[in-house]
Structure 1
Amino acid sequence: MKNALLALAITGLLLGCKTSPTGRTQLALYSDSDMNSMGVQSFSQLKKQMAINTDTRTNRYVQCIADNIIAVLPQKYASQKWEVVVFDEDSANAFALPGGKIGVHTGLLKVAVNQHQVATVMGHEVGHVIAEHSNERASQSSAIQIGMQAADATLKSTQNQYHGAIMTALGVGTQYGVILPFSRTHESEADEIGLDLMAKAGFDPKESVTLWQNMSAVGSGASPEFLSTHPSPKTRIEDLRKEMPEAMKLHYSALQTGKKPGCTL
């Protein structure tokens, strides 16, 4: 049993390795169609559960920003039909799902005070999609489950008296040693991708720093970064500033080609 599980895990790792847009090796065991179907299904459920904003000006504003971001996506994604929905939700948040789905909370528009800052968040969320982070997280979860089953089978077969304690330790180690760091990696990678996307679309990358300063100002006390699924605002801002010179080159190039978004609320 343990040998079969191990062989399955190794085969999956070998067949599922891909490269993210930033050059990072990642595990992606699921097909695009599988992920798109899950994204569409999840979005459909959210539309049933959450109140949808119908204000014409708000929806036109958000759609304008989305259209400019979508236009500079890799062809595989730019050619998709994207659905953009504004939800009446006070939290300053947005999300994007495989299958061409974008959701924006009205609360975000109170913190992201202009088109450039909204584009920062939207670019970041779409960055998660084009980097296939949902696939990677789902694949990671499957691989961890197989590994835990193999470890459990091995400990049981040897009748190890510390079986329970070891499995508990493995679970904690997996949570803090694998799952959370991967999530922080995804967030940082999405920040980098999103910065490039907004710059290519003609939005001002410098506003990304202001956006996270705004987010930090309205946020309450958070857990230490080590135990967080997101980098701290300070870390995000530092990383964005490191990427800013290249982003500004993309921005100026976009302006020269006539990309000057005029999305207003």
Structure 2
Amino acid sequence: MASKLQRNIALGLLSAALLSACSTSPTGRKQLVLLPDNQLNEMGVASFAEMKSNTPASSSTQATQHVQCVADRIIAVLPDEYRKQNWEVVLFNDEQVNAFALPGYKIGVYTGLLDVATNQDQLAAVVGHEVGHVLARHGNERVSTQLATSQALALGSQLYGEDSATKTAIFQGLGIGAQIGILLPFSRTHESEADVIGLDLMAKAGFNPEESIKLWQNMSKKGSSSTPEFLSTHPSHQTRMNDLNAAMAGPKQVYTSLKAANKTAHCY
């Protein structure tokens, strides 16, 4: 009886903590956020400083100005709490096809990306996507989900009796299930949500949102992963293009209006 009461109390406390940490993303999706944003900002600043010490910045003034121009246009249309921050943008001299944005208002682009994002609009699709992760607090949500999952499994292991081969097998299986059933889908959800947020940001900033589709066509030509999508942290290229097409109407209308008013971006 005492063991059952202890179990119910512990589970009740865990459930209350998780419910109190519920938040809402910019798209209206419910999310779990356990950590204060300033803690994530500090982590982002520290990570960016370490990256700058390990990876040289590009020596190309033209390429650096191009990336800065695109980032500045995206930053200019962010909500006030983000737009008014002192964002730092660095073009890293590295062949990997990638970019990122970190809590703490940091944006990094690798020179290898410029071989795939072949114009300002395609680069804006990537930068908008990465900034979308920050706006949606995906870093915080990702860490919070991992913390909650690991704590729940640890609590369950403690509450359900003495160690045994059967119990160990069950909780090892739950760990695998959590990875595939919770953590990986959450990551794919983050990527898809950042795509939609980025599409909206790039259009508002005066970039052609339809170029986001061409970007992923370029990505597909560059190479693809053999990992099945349900075991991957990212949606497939085709899934991303389908989702972007489905969300295109609103951003395209915004861009068309800006184009008619001669207010589109010129970061060539």
**TM-score category (smaller protein):** over 0.9
Instruction: Call closer, same or farther: CA 1:181–1:230 in 2, change over 3 Å.
Output: same
Instruction: Call closer, same or farther: CA 1:255–1:151 in 2, change over 3 Å.
Output: same
Structure 1 residue 156: deviation in Å?
3.0
SS of the aligned residue for 1:162 comes to: helix
Structure 1 residue ranges without an equivalent (≥5): none
What is the aligned-residue identity percentage?
52
CA RMSD, 1 decimal:
1.5
- Select the residue among 194, 197, 204 that pairs with 1:190: 194
Following superposition of structure 1 onto structure 2, how do residues 128-147 of structure 1 map, counting pairs within 5 Å?
A: 128-147=133-152
- Select the residue among 15, 27, 30 that pairs with 1:25: 30
Write out the 4+ residue segments of structure 1 that deviate beyond 4 Å after TM superposition.
1-5
Paired AA for residue 250 in structure 1: V
- Select the residue among 100, 103, 110 that pairs with 1:105: 110
What is residue 214 of structure 1 aligned with on the other side? 218
Paired AA for residue 14 in structure 1: L
Q: Indicate whether 1:237 and 2:241 are aligned.
A: yes
Instruction: Call closer, same or farther: CA 1:227–1:257 in 2, change over 3 Å.
Output: same
Following superposition of structure 1 onto structure 2, how do residues 21-170 of structure 1 map, counting pairs within 5 Å?
A: 21-157=26-162, 162-170=166-174
CA contact (8 A) 2:255 2:264 kept: no
- Select the residue among 247, 250, 256 that pairs with 2:251: 247
Structure 1 residue 222: deviation in Å?
2.5
CA contact (8 A) 2:74 2:202 kept: yes
Aligned equivalents of 2:13, 2:220: Cα separation in 1: 44
Q: Indicate whether 1:204 and 2:208 are aligned.
A: yes
- Select the residue among 156, 171, 174 that pairs with 2:175: 171
Paired AA for residue 190 in structure 1: A
TM-score, with length taken from structure 2: 0.94
TM-score, with length taken from structure 1: 0.95
Structure 2 residue ranges without an equivalent (≥5): 1-5
Aligned equivalents of 1:83, 1:248: Cα separation in 2: 29
